[in-house]
Chains A and B, each alone.
Chain A
Amino acid sequence: MDLVVSLALQILYGIANLALISLGLAIIFGMMRVINLAHGEFLMLGGYTVVIATNNGVNIWIAMLVLAPLVVGVIGVVVERLLIRWLYGRMIDTLLATWGLSLLFIGLVTSIFGASTATTISPPLGVITIGAYTSSGYEMFLIVVTVLLLVAVYATLKLTTLGLVARGTMQNAEMSSALGVSTSRIYMITFGLGAAVTGLAGGLLAPITGILPTIGAVYIAKAFITVISGGMAILAGTATASVLLGGVNGIVAFLTGPTIGEVALLVTAIILLRLMPRGITGTLFRKSL
Chain B
Amino acid sequence: MRLSRDFRGTLIVAFCGLAFTLVAPEVLEFFTIITLSQVIGLAILALSLALVWGFGGILCFGQTAFFGLGAYAYAVTATNIGGSTGAILMAILVAAAFAAILGYFIFYGRVSDVYLAIITLTVALILYSLTRRTSGPEYKIGNALLGGFNGTAAPPLNLPGDAGTVLFPEDTFYVAMIVLILAYVFCCWLVRTHFGRVCIAIRENETRAELLAYDIRLYKLGIFTIGAALAGLGGVFFCVGVSRVTPDVFSLSQAAVAIIWVIVGGRGTLIGPILATFALHYLTASLGSQALLNANLVLGIVLIVFVLLVPKGVVPSIIDLADIRRQRRVARSRERRLRLRRTRNGSESAGVAE
Give Cα A225–Cα B125 distance, bound, in whole angstroms. Answer: 11
Whether the Cβ atoms of B295 and A99 lie closer than 8 Å is no
Count chain B residues whose beta carbon lies closer than 8 angstroms to a beta carbon of A: 48
Whether the Cβ atoms of B303 and A107 lie closer than 8 Å is no
Whether the Cβ atoms of A104 and B118 lie closer than 8 Å is no
Q: Check: B304 CB closer than 8 A to any chain A CB.
A: yes
Interface 9-residue window, one of B168-176, B179-187, B250-258: B250-258
Give Cα A159–Cα B115 distance, bound, in whole angstroms. Answer: 31
Whether the Cβ atoms of B130 and A107 lie closer than 8 Å is no
Interface 9-residue window, one of A3-11, A197-205, A263-271: A263-271
Among B106, B263, B297, point to the contact of A108 (Cβ < 8 A). Answer: B297
Among B117, B252, B298, point to the contact of A217 (Cβ < 8 A). Answer: B252
Q: Which residues of B contact A91 (CB under 8 A)?
A: 113-114
Whether the Cβ atoms of B114 and A99 lie closer than 8 Å is no
Give Cα A83–Cα B259 distance, bound, in whole angstroms. Answer: 19
Whether the Cβ atoms of A103 and B126 lie closer than 8 Å is no
Main SS class of interface, B = helix
Interface 9-residue window, one of A54-62, A144-152, A175-183, A274-282: A274-282
Q: Check: B60 CB closer than 8 A to any chain A CB.
A: no
Within 8 A of B (CB), among A165-217: 214, 216-217
Whether the Cβ atoms of B109 and A103 lie closer than 8 Å is no
Q: Chain B CB within 10 Å — which of A92, A99, A266 has the most?
A: A99
Among B119, B125, B128, point to the contact of A273 (Cβ < 8 A). Answer: B119
Q: Which residues of A contact B302 (CB under 8 A)?
A: 100
Give Cα A228–Cα B114 distance, bound, in whole angstroms. Answer: 9
> Distance in Å from the Cβ of B289 to the closest Cβ of chain A?
10
Q: Check: B212 CB closer than 8 A to any chain A CB.
A: no
Q: Which residues of B contact A137 (CB under 8 A)?
A: none
Q: Check: A13 CB closer than 8 A to any chain B CB.
A: no
Whether the Cβ atoms of A224 and B299 lie closer than 8 Å is no
Whether the Cβ atoms of B113 and A99 lie closer than 8 Å is no
Q: Check: A241 CB closer than 8 A to any chain B CB.
A: no
Give Cα A30–Cα B250 distance, bound, in whole angstroms. Answer: 28
> Distance in Å from the Cβ of B35 to the closest Cβ of chain A?
22
Q: List 9 interface pairs A-B (beta carbons < 8 Å), by A numbering.
A: A103-B256, A103-B296, A104-B304, A107-B294, A107-B299, A107-B300, A221-B122, A224-B118, A259-B130
Residues of B within 8 A of A (CB): 59, 61, 102, 105-106, 108-115, 117-119, 121-123, 125-126, 128-130, 133, 251-253, 256, 259, 263, 291-304, 307-308, 311
Nearest 9 CB-CB pairings of A with B: A107-B297, A104-B300, A103-B300, A100-B303, A107-B296, A100-B304, A221-B125, A274-B109, A274-B105
